[in-house]
């Protein structure tokens, strides 16, 4: 996660007390969605960089960091609109997910971001609640190169 805070954001984090409101933004996208789904962890909608994020409750459960293991965490999104649920249930591949952190006083300044490399996998549903696992592509489990490099299967290398 990028942590290059703005000078105002850094001052807010380091202050003994602050009235600054920090907001977590969640973006879920997939090629088959009618629109990218955007959520803000707060009670009211907010606009950031021209996109409206709908108020929603979601909880992030981060794991311990262990060597030689890709980061994976769980996310629970509550009170999801029925149309969003229908689109999530209809996808065959994992949707892309991005988490950004902003300050309410400067909603167009992204203070921290995961970037767009994460996928939302293993989705389960209970009423209007969606639970999923967020992870990167499992590149550690992939052989590199896959198989052996021989003239028969890699003629351009010889």
Query: What is the distance of C-alpha 64 from the center of its chain?
Result: 18
pLDDT tens-digit readout, 66-96: 776 667 788 898 867 788 888 888 888 889 9
Could you tell me the pTM of the whole model? 0.78
- 147-158: average pLDDT: 62
The larger pLDDT score, comparing residue 37 to residue 83, is at 37
Question: What is residue 40's predicted lDDT score, i.e. its pLDDT?
Answer: 94
pLDDT tens-digit readout, 61-73: 876 777 766 677 8
């Amino acid at each position: 996660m990028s942590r290059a805070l703005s000078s105002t954001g850094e001052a807010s984090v380091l202050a003994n007390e602050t009235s600054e409101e920090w907001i977590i933004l969640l973006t879920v996208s997939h090629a088959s969605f009618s629109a990218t789904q955007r959520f803000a962890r707060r009670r009211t909608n907010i606009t950031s960089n021209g996109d409206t994020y709908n108020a929603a409750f979601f909880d992030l459960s981060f794991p311990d960091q262990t060597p030689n293991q890709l980061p994976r965490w769980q996310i629970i999104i509550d009170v999801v609109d029925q149309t969003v649920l229908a689109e999530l249930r209809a996808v065959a591949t994992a949707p892309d997910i991005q988490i950004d952190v902003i300050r309410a006083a400067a909603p167009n300044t992204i203070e921290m971001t995961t970037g767009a490399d994460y996928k939302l996998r293993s989705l389960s549903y209970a009423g209007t609640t969606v639970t999923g696992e967020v992870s990167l592509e499992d590149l550690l489990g992939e052989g590199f190169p896959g198989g052996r490099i021989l003239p028969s299967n890699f003629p351009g290398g010889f």
